[in-house]
């Protein structure tokens, strides 16, 4: 079995062996993504995961990876510098988008998570 297959299987065994809340952090999507990369075993192979910077990354000084992934994918200190570059690019692009579209688009279509009742406004 390839390492990715083993990681998926190992993660599923860990998840199925205990009770869990699907909405513990973030939102779940069809692919199982909660939107919280530091807890995700898919992070090294996920475009968003390898391009987003989190507080855990800053605290560790490199990309934070779960224990099950660290055994197979080492994160180097250079990974934090790369994450910062991606984050700066995203922040710059969003600022440009917001400046160009401010007042034209409603960017907060959904209420905060703790106030969401399941009804979408569109």
Domains of the chain by residue range: 37-101
Render pLDDT for 81-111 as a digit per residue (tens, 0 to 9): 888 999 999 899 988 988 888 766 665 655 5
Among candidates 61, 62, 63, which has minimal Cα distance to 49? 63
Name the strand (E) or helix (H) holding 98: helix 78-101
pTM to 2 decimal places: 0.53
Q: For the purposes of burial, counting CB atoms within 10 Å of the CB of 46, is it exposed (0-12), middle (13-18) or buried (19 or more)?
A: middle
The C-alpha angle with vertex 58 and arms to 3 and 115, in degrees rounded to 5, equals: 90
The C-alpha angle with vertex 32 and arms to 23 and 20, in degrees rounded to 5, equals: 40
Render pLDDT for 44-87 as a digit per residue (tens, 0 to 9): 888 888 888 999 999 999 999 988 888 888 778 778 888 899 99
């Amino acid at each position: 079995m390839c390492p990715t297959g083993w990681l998926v299987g190992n993660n599923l065994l860990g998840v199925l062996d205990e009770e869990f809340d699907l909405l513990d952090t973030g939102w779940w999507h069809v692919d199982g993504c909660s939107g919280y990369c530091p807890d995700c075993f898919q992070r090294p192979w996920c475009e968003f995961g390898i391009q987003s910077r989190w507080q855990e990354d800053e605290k560790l000084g490199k990309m934070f990876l779960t224990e099950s992934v660290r055994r197979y994918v080492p994160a180097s200190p250079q990974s934090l510098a790369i994450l910062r570059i991606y984050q700066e690019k995203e922040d710059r692009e969003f600022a440009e988008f917001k400046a160009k579209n401010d007042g034209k688009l409603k960017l907060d279509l959904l209420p905060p998570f703790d106030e969401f009742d399941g009804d979408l406004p569109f």
